[in-house]
Structure 1
Amino acid sequence: MKLILRSAIFLLFILSGTRSEGQSTAEDTVHITLNGAWERANTFSKEIQLKNIDNQIGMEDLRQAKSQWLPHVGTNAHYGKLANIPVFEDGILETPTYIPIHDHTTYEAGIEAEFNLYSGHKNHIAIQKAETKTELLQYLKSESVSDIHYKVAELYLSIQRSTAFVKLIEQDVNRNKKRLEQIQQLYNNGVILKSDLLRAQLQLSQQETNLLRMNNNLNISKQQLNIILGFDDHHPLIPIDDIAMNLGELKQAYQNYIQIAMSTSHYEKMAEAHIKLSELDEKNLKADKLPRISLFGEYSYSFPQIMLYPYANAPYALGVGGIRISYNISSLYHDKHKENAASLTVDRQRLVKAQTEEKLRTEINKAYKRLNEDLTEIEVATLNIEQAQENDRIINETYFNQLALITDLLEADTQLLKAQFDLINSQISARLHYYQLLRLTGQL
């Protein structure tokens, strides 16, 4: 008895272990809203993580640019041996005489510092460029977040659509199976031809194939969404938002979307940042034609003393401080073409911004029109379902009373399923076009 009990416990342990490794339990299932999916994507999306690192790099570059205001301090030192010094008193072709050196050792250690007073505002321009690049990186991150949110919405709604399709097809398959039994009975009684039976069987097979395809689509979308959200590939994921959404109340006027896009769109802000960067590059080139003024100080400890006459075979210390002014004359003619190119780049970026605005207006108009189209199709599809249900009921009764053909029966079933599919597709399409409007206007 004890042996049997131990064997049963061991078998139960093996089966529970197998289930935990090969299957997901109900406790593992994640019921998630679209907003919850967006929040999780903000943390686990690799694309957003990369943009976060880019922003951190941009902040370090900004700190580096600001650090250039601090004085530049350096040290130097050397140690060596002096060679004998030949003096050619009678010319280089004659034998020289050598200056006697008692100690051939030479060494020097020093420190120097420089503080920039004026350099055509190049430091200030460098800081402005770093700040603008930091802003641009933030806009790029915001664009990536919007793109990821839209991608998550696509996958989330794709899962909802496939789930709804699977449910509809399963209901239709069960319905067709029951109807096939009735048709089989009519055929066995000699009431209908075998062609009716074959057509009913063919439609059932097609629906079972469609069911397999829809399940595959569902699993593919779930895997892609799981990856973005940081789950395992086949983690059970169930969207809990309603497919239907009252977009009519959320939808704004077309001009409102345009006005919002011109002020908050990531694309618009990125275009403005590129213009500012090109203008700063142009200013930086012009700054090269201005003088550079700085304070400097040097202090060194050297041996031997050959700096001032009379020379001495002894160590000495020397300190120098003052103001330094320099000017690069060659910049007057070397940078002429660079300045022309920089000016053209500014004009180009302004044209790119105008082109971006045109593209935004075009995309917003397209998404807005499609959204209105989807809302109309939802109303039509809702009415079509009511008509298709009534038509299917009538044809079903008339067929089994031998007043309709099998083609009429199958066509009525197909029309009902198509009307149900159309409603779901229109609801999904409307939400996607609404989210596209939010993405274009920088609100997603």
Structure 2
Amino acid sequence: MYYLKRLFFLFFLLEISPKLLGQQVITITIDEALQLAIKNHAQLKVTKQQVIINEQEKEITKLNQLPIINTSIKASYLGDVDLFDGTFSKVMTQEIPHFGNSLEIQASQLIYKGGIVKNSIEAQELKIDLTKLSLENDEQTIKKTVLDYFLNNLRLENQIKIFNNNIELANQRLANVTQFYNQGITTRNEVLRAELLVKNLEQTLLSLKNNKAIIDYNLSILLNFPKESIFTLDTSNQEWDLLKEKDYYIKMAFLKHPSLLKLEKQLLLSDKQIEIIKSEKYPTIALFAGFNSQRPITTRVPALDLYANAWQTGISISYNIDNLYKTKEKQQLGVFQKQQLEYTNTVLTQNIEMSVNSAYLKYFEAIKQAEIIYSSLKLAEENYKISLAKFLNQLIIQTEMIDASNTKLEIELSLNNAEINIISQYYNLIYTTGTL
């Protein structure tokens, strides 16, 4: 459409002076800005580390598939044995070998526990998927934050240009009023009024420059650039036309939004946790084997200074009887928690659909608003030219000239905001689908 083409052209002509001492001007496209945002943002490093932690926890859980092996080695000094009769009177002291040592090895292998090991491993895999989706969600949020910074930066760049231009025009009018005053055509009050207008414009310009400096500083931190950097957004080769119908973006959100995908994984994890709880109702069956070597043999008198070696192997079955009445309540809690997630999924799906619908309509509203304001600007510019011609010919007083100037300035600022809003609403729509 015509207006969007004009918008692209206006942004292509945007310039920021790079002559600030010691400062580096960085021109960057929106796509480059978004890539840098997810590459350098500190918050993402935290979430990525959590992915690594969950992957390691999975490896630890997998170790439960391996046998448990315990070993014990002891060396001791054994004292002589005192023997007493039934009245605790000492009968004799029996000497025994004083050096004692033992070696014990025990091994066991779980072979059945209601599938608890398998389900625990699968639960850890789901937790890894959840963390990765949290990472995607964080990336979306960070991209949106950085994009808003850049669009505000672009808005301020345009406003600075607009105010510089209006200050130049105001200085020209001040020169004209001063000339009229020197010629005795107007009063000193008119000169003061013109000077005050220039000062007001300069005051606002100072605030705009400071606001831009704040955003530049914040972006330098977020994107890991030198803190003296000045950012300018290159939008010359960007297009913001929506080529699809609203239903396309709603379906895209349902398929790809990280929050919905995360909730789906949470539901699967809830099922796994219920299965893990159910496994408590089953007995624990394990194979075991052991070996024991001990010296001296003290099970007889006198003790023998010999090694007694013994081994064993078999199968063990254990069961916690209290699980018969505890597991049911735990399982019911898991069911309630899953139902809560299902209700949350319904609410989230509705909210995302409403957000996409709102963003879609706001995008086209932004285009229409900009077109209306552009038409108003043409009228304001024509009114300004007519008022300026009348003012120079002393057909109107300066108050009317200032009104025309202020009207033109106000509409120029509104148009700048409207142009930026088109870009903002376009990316906001993409953000609501979770695919920014």
TM-score normalized by the length of structure 2: 0.89
Taking a change above 3 Å as real, the CA distance of residues 378 and 415 of structure 1, as seen in their structure-2 partners, is: same
Taking a change above 3 Å as real, the CA distance of residues 306 and 357 of structure 1, as seen in their structure-2 partners, is: farther
- 2:43 corresponding residue in structure 1: 47
Alignment of 1:13-412 (within 5 A): 23-24=21-22, 28-82=24-78, 90=86, 94-95=88-89, 97=91, 100-242=94-236, 246-247=239-240, 249-250=241-242, 252-305=244-297, 312-412=304-404
Instruction: Provide the secondary structure at the position in 1 that maps to 2:204.
Output: helix
Instruction: Give 1:238 deviation, angstroms.
Output: 2.8
Alpha-carbon distance in structure 1 between the residues aligned to 2:429 and 2:91: 91
Contact 1:384 1:419 in 2 (8 A): yes
Alpha-carbon distance in structure 1 between the residues aligned to 2:251 and 2:200: 50
Give the residue type in structure 2 aligned to 1:417: L
Give the residue type in structure 1 aligned to 2:380: A
Alpha-carbon distance in structure 1 between the residues aligned to 2:344 and 2:82: 69
Contact 1:24 1:236 in 2 (8 A): no
Percent identity between matched residues is 23
Instruction: Give 1:146 deviation, angstroms.
Output: 0.9
Task: Select between 414-423 and 135-144 the one with higher mean Cα deviation.
Answer: 414-423
Give the residue type in structure 2 aligned to 1:51: T
Contact 2:79 2:96 in 1 (8 A): no
CA root-mean-square deviation: 2.4
Instruction: Give 1:442 deviation, angstroms.
Output: 1.7
Alpha-carbon distance in structure 2 between the residues aligned to 1:171 and 1:38: 32
Alpha-carbon distance in structure 1 between the residues aligned to 2:83 and 2:430: 85
Unaligned runs of 5+ in 2: 1-19
- 1:14 corresponding residue in structure 2: none
Instruction: Give 1:172 deviation, angstroms.
Output: 0.8
Contact 1:142 1:266 in 2 (8 A): yes
Taking a change above 3 Å as real, the CA distance of residues 369 and 233 of structure 1, as seen in their structure-2 partners, is: same
Alpha-carbon distance in structure 1 between the residues aligned to 2:262 and 2:299: 58
Alpha-carbon distance in structure 2 between the residues aligned to 1:287 and 1:318: 35
Task: Select between 80-89 and 304-313 the one with higher mean Cα deviation.
Answer: 304-313
After superposition, what is the alpha-carbon deviation per residue over 1:285-335, rounded to whole angstroms, capped at 9, x for unaligned? Answer: 111111112222212222234679998441122222222222111211233
Q: Does 1:434 align with 2:390?
A: no
Instruction: Provide the secondary structure at the position in 1 that maps to 2:207.
Output: helix
TM-score normalized by the length of structure 1: 0.87
Instruction: Provide the secondary structure at the position in 1 that maps to 2:380.
Output: helix
- 1:8 corresponding residue in structure 2: none
